[in-house]
């Protein structure tokens, strides 16, 4: 993951510190979302969600059963190679982040809406954006072109 830090003037330090803390906390939620799914830790995975998003997943868990639900979490993330977050927007106690999951032959992008509840960021909505096959598949060696010598 690539992190970019910007220098800020001292007058902005309090706001910058709060934003940095929120960005780190949001990143932690996304890391936990992915790692708990890969581990099949349903309870920890559900704790990443709140409100209607959590209720929807709990309903699926009841219908599917814990064993099948756990297997589904693991299966959906088994071939995950990497992920990237973009388009961060933090406004007070609400935030949005685009999460792109990178698989060997496809990428899947979703928009996550998060809310800070009791001091913790949680996902309150997940909106599918798109799924596509990149021009260069993940893991493909890329060799720079060099002029041929005569």
The reply to whether CATH 3.10.450.50 applies to domain 20-132 is yes
Structure tokens belonging to residue 113: 């809406």
- pLDDT at residue 141, rounded to an integer: 75
The 10 Å Cβ neighbour count of residue 96 is: 16
Hey, is 95 helix, strand or coil?
strand
pLDDT in tens, 9-38: 334 444 445 556 888 999 999 999 999 999
How far out from the chain centre does Cα 64 lie? 24
DSSP letter at 44 equals H
Strand partners, 125: 113
CB 95 within 8 A of CB 85: no
C-alpha span between 101 and 108 (Å, rounded):
5
pLDDT in tens, 110-134: 999 999 999 999 999 999 999 988 7
pTM: 0.78
Strand partners, 18: none
Structure tokens belonging to residue 25: 């906390």
């Amino acid at each position: 993951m690539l992190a970019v830090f910007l220098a800020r003037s001292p007058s902005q330090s309090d706001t910058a510190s709060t934003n940095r803390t929120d960005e780190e906390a949001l990143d932690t939620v996304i890391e936990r979302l992915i790692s708990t799914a890969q581990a099949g830790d349903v309870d920890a995975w559900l704790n990443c969600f709140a409100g209607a998003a959590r209720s929807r997943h709990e309903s699926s868990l009841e219908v599917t059963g814990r064993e099948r639900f756990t297997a589904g979490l693991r299966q959906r993330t088994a071939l995950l190679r990497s992920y990237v977050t973009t388009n961060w927007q933090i406004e007070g106690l609400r935030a949005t982040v685009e999460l792109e999951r990178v698989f060997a032959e496809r990428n899947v992008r979703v928009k996550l809406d998060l809310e800070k509840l009791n001091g913790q960021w949680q996902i309150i909505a997940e909106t599918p954006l798109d799924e596509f096959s990149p021009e260069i598949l993940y893991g493909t060696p890329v060799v720079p072109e060099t002029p041929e010598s005569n």
